[in-house]
Structure 1
Amino acid sequence: MESKGWKKYALGDVCSVTDCQHKTAPIVKEETQYRMLRTTNIRNGKIDAVNTRSVSQETYLKWSIRGFLEEGDVILTREAPMGEVGIIRKEKYNLFLGQRLLQLKANKNLITPEFLFYSLQGRELQHQIRMNEGTGSVVSNIRIPILKKMEIYVPDLNEQKRIVDTLKAMDEKIVLNELVIANLEKLIQTLFKRWFVDFEFPNEYGKLYKSSGGKLEESELGLKPSEWKVIEIGDLALQISKGTTPTKKDFDSATGAKKIDFLKVKDINDDGLINFNSVEKIPEVIHEKKLKRSILLEKDILLSIAGTIGRVSYISKIRNGININQALAFIRLHDSENHFAFIYTYLKTKKFQNEINSKIVQGVQANISLSVIKKSLVVFPNIEVLNQYNEIIIPILKQIEILKEENISTGSIRNVLMSKLLSREIELSNESEVQAHVPIP
């Protein structure tokens, strides 16, 4: 759609494109300030610079010979997956391109880095990128000559700034909420360790149990309070199971227009946040028949068991009734009202994470079995301590839930607004037009 003041360019006219080195950089075990970006670090418009691999300074300089990554550079995944976009912010690490990544540097006389970043996420350029599906001998990939010829519509720099400021404000709100969520999760983990690892929970007199001489006894997991018991997670579970992936035949024979959210590991980040704005959907008929076993309920706890192992999340009331694929397990508790907060927090502890990582089976895809989860031993508190813990933690979890849903709503509005603005369907200057097209909750 044409719009006054917007010009059509070839992408190669508004930015330079630098390819990665087509080999894997040697990594080092110790942490350094020199980090390699991989395709797994670029997801949903964000760059995860924390979970990157360290290299030596020599390797960093050698792999950056085509150009150093600078603030404002846009990163594009050219395959596996294709078309994910991120932008370099002020980073604490010196980053460089790993395999299958491209560096796009904006020609600032024509386009701002942020506008380039948002444009690459817009439906017009994403559609052009998706047209490269099936272009590789093994996996689809973006060829640089084709990328440079892709069409991009660009307004004047002032209008670019207005659009960017609008979208960025929403992104910053999401980031702020994520920071609050991370801090609340950290608080929960700190309290869990204090009470259930260090045994410094308040006794009946309000004093710290262990420090005030509380009785401890030996168990298969080491010392524990005498009134507590060692149990398997399976003892508390009504069901521990996993999802299924529908076949092409299932999709071909499916009828009906209604779709259901279908979670995969990639939809859950390391902090347990689920990006529902990019979750795939499956026909309701498949959900209710082929995948009936894994229809999720409120307070079902999710654990990734294949590929990236150990990510933990849960199903809130508003997400009741969605589904998952085979790389995600779910734990449904007998008494979710009382046991949910404890088990959810326990699954995030280093103890449990180290345990499942020690029992990974290497195959086509690394995985752990459901029996590993069921048989995992945990020191379980008495009802009085558990009730005290729930009184503190459940309100925090509810606050986290509110922030998560707020982010989903903000992200949805941002995505619609970005799509409409970049396709020139609406203009920011026309307030009534914006309100008519953008879903305000």
Structure 2
Amino acid sequence: MNLNSTKFKQTEIGEIPEDWKVKSLGEVVEVKGRIGWRGYTINDLRDSGSLVLGGTQIVNNKIDLSKPTYLSEEKYLESPEIIVKQGDIIITKTGNSIGDVAIVDFDIGKATINPNVALLKSKENINSEFLYYWLINEYAQNFLKNGSSASAQPAINQETIRKLLVVFPKIDEQQNIVSIFSSLDNKIELNLKMNKTLEEIGKTLFKSWFVDFEFPNENGKPYKSCGGKMVDSELGKIPEGWGVKTLKEICSITNGGTPSRQINNYWENKDILWIKTGELNDGVIFDSEEKISKLGLQKSSAKLLPVNSIVIAIYAAPTVGRLGILKHEATTNQACTGLVVKTKYSSYLHVYYWLLNLRNYFNSIAVGAAQQNISKGVIEETKIVLPTKRIIENSKLILESIWNKITQNTKQISNLSLIKDSLLPRLMSGKLRI
């Protein structure tokens, strides 16, 4: 559709095309919640059965059932008005995740909601997927997150949710808009699944070679199970010719720092990536939420780390032990420790997987009253099994091919997300017509 031919009208939320409508959310959907007297207790929970959806099941605007909760059949049937069906939308009403939104885009089976979320069921003339994209745009998110009551526990009630204004075109244009966002989301989801598979392949290979010691011997057979000689070490039996060192012997290890936020010059130019622990997700890192200036780097304890450095979180269990691999030089805050692997000893991916395997150990030894931390010293003194140069080089070829694909996919995810973010406000306001 030619935007030049589109006439606009002024509404409560700005200019929109003349043929679009503005209505309250309560006019276009049914907003349901769990009635207080139909609440449930721990005694109503089960090991299997009917799913209960709450805020913890919303992750990155998707339904995540990796940590499911189940309710008794009796309690499930007691509230038929909040039985969840494919196409329904849930919104978090309480807590720090208030306003989080997800659409049930698959056949979920038997499911209901807990008291902390609202359930939206679309009426005629509005596509539930279109509504979902409206709810994640900036206007709707500001309304939901700023509409909470002033209390220790932020909360938004169903009546307030019903007052949210919704802008929408005719159903065929809604479907066209949905098709664009769905294609972007599907490609992002495909890349995420590919990365997850690749990550599992990498973990499996590392465990086989460097934990179970079943790397290929000179004849291509599994070393340990085919009688490869094992010798004693301070970390137990290891293959003959292998050794044990501390991480400080094979890596340059530094802590990060934070430039003073009172000095604008340290933050204004945004020359250098500055990583925080919340950005560590056991993957590659190309960018950061915040950046510092060269002056900020010079005037603080932050250190510039090169590409392929490993960053590990050392503060606040269970964040302790989370990892990142830099694909752009960067600095970090003091809650992170950076490791630059000396290539004459090992590869960065060998050290990465070794640290990944120690995640539970690091969390078990984290100490502190307000928050449980480990120190740079703990990382430095951590012991690592070092294979022969041949095994390191052979594993490096395989692992780097895996991570090159993960890196490529992650870049594409980032680019697709930027495209989606730029299109969302324009398509959802009619500034761009299709």
Q: Which runs of 5+ in 2 are unaligned?
A: 1-14
| Mapped partners of 1:63, 1:288: distance in 2 | 60
| Mapped partners of 2:279, 2:44: distance in 1 | 29
SS of the residue 1:299 aligns to: coil
| Mapped partners of 1:333, 1:24: distance in 2 | 53
Q: Which runs of 5+ in 1 are unaligned?
A: 429-441
Offset at 1:28?
A: 11
| Mapped partners of 2:44, 2:233: distance in 1 | 39
Residues 140 and 249 (structure 1), Cα distance of their counterparts in 2 relative to 1, 3 Å cut: farther
Residues 143 and 189 (structure 1), Cα distance of their counterparts in 2 relative to 1, 3 Å cut: same
1:384 maps onto 2:390 in alignment: yes
Residues 45 and 326 (structure 1), Cα distance of their counterparts in 2 relative to 1, 3 Å cut: farther
1:407 to 413, 419, 431: 413
SS of the residue 2:180 aligns to: helix
1:312 maps onto 2:327 in alignment: no
Residues 88 and 202 (structure 1), Cα distance of their counterparts in 2 relative to 1, 3 Å cut: same
| Mapped partners of 1:345, 1:35: distance in 2 | 35
Residues 94 and 202 (structure 1), Cα distance of their counterparts in 2 relative to 1, 3 Å cut: same
| Mapped partners of 2:352, 2:45: distance in 1 | 31
| Mapped partners of 1:110, 1:129: distance in 2 | 23
1:342 maps onto 2:350 in alignment: yes
Query: 1:53-202, aligned counterparts within 5 Å?
Result: 53-55=68-70, 57=72, 61=76, 67-78=82-93, 79-90=95-106, 96-98=112-114, 100-107=116-123, 109-132=124-147, 135-202=149-216
Residues 75 and 284 (structure 1), Cα distance of their counterparts in 2 relative to 1, 3 Å cut: farther
Matched with 2:399 is 393
Offset at 1:64?
A: 6.3
| Mapped partners of 1:6, 1:221: distance in 2 | 69
Alignment length, in residue pairs? 415
Residues 354 and 32 (structure 1), Cα distance of their counterparts in 2 relative to 1, 3 Å cut: farther
2:253 to 239, 263, 266: 239
Offset at 1:340?
A: 0.3
SS of the residue 2:156 aligns to: coil
SS of the residue 2:302 aligns to: helix
Matched with 2:60 is 44
TM-score (structure 1 length as normaliser): 0.81
CA contact (8 A) 2:137 2:425 kept: yes
| Mapped partners of 2:247, 2:43: distance in 1 | 37
- Matched residue type, 1:74: I
SS of the residue 2:283 aligns to: coil
CA contact (8 A) 2:274 2:291 kept: yes
Offset at 1:390?
A: 0.6
| Mapped partners of 2:363, 2:354: distance in 1 | 15
Offset at 1:145?
A: 2.5
CA contact (8 A) 1:122 1:418 kept: yes
Instruction: For residues 20-79 of structure 1, give each alpha carbon's deviation from its aligned partner in whole angstroms, at most 9, with x where no partner exists.
Output: 5888963999964655545354243223221x2544536973896761222222222333
Instruction: For residues 158-204 of structure 1, give each alpha carbon's deviation from its aligned partner in whole angstroms, at most 9, with x where no partner exists.
Output: 11110001101010001111111111111111111111112111223
SS of the residue 1:201 aligns to: coil
SS of the residue 1:82 aligns to: coil
Moved more, 232-241 or 416-425: 232-241
Matched with 1:284 is 293
Matched with 1:364 is 370
Matched with 1:432 is none
1:419 maps onto 2:433 in alignment: no
CA contact (8 A) 2:216 2:223 kept: yes
TM-score (structure 2 length as normaliser): 0.82
- Matched residue type, 2:388: N
Q: State which structure, 1 or 2, has the greater radius of gyration over its C-alpha atoms.
A: 2
| Mapped partners of 2:109, 2:260: distance in 1 | 42
Moved more, 154-163 or 360-369: 360-369
Counting aligned pairs with the same residue, the percent is 28
| Mapped partners of 1:425, 1:200: distance in 2 | 59
Instruction: For residues 112-143 of structure 1, give each alpha carbon's deviation from its aligned partner in whole angstroms, at most 9, with x where no partner exists.
Output: 1111111011122123234437x422254434
- Matched residue type, 1:69: V
Residues 221 and 254 (structure 1), Cα distance of their counterparts in 2 relative to 1, 3 Å cut: closer
Matched with 1:256 is 268
SS of the residue 2:16 aligns to: coil
Moved more, 330-339 or 404-413: 330-339
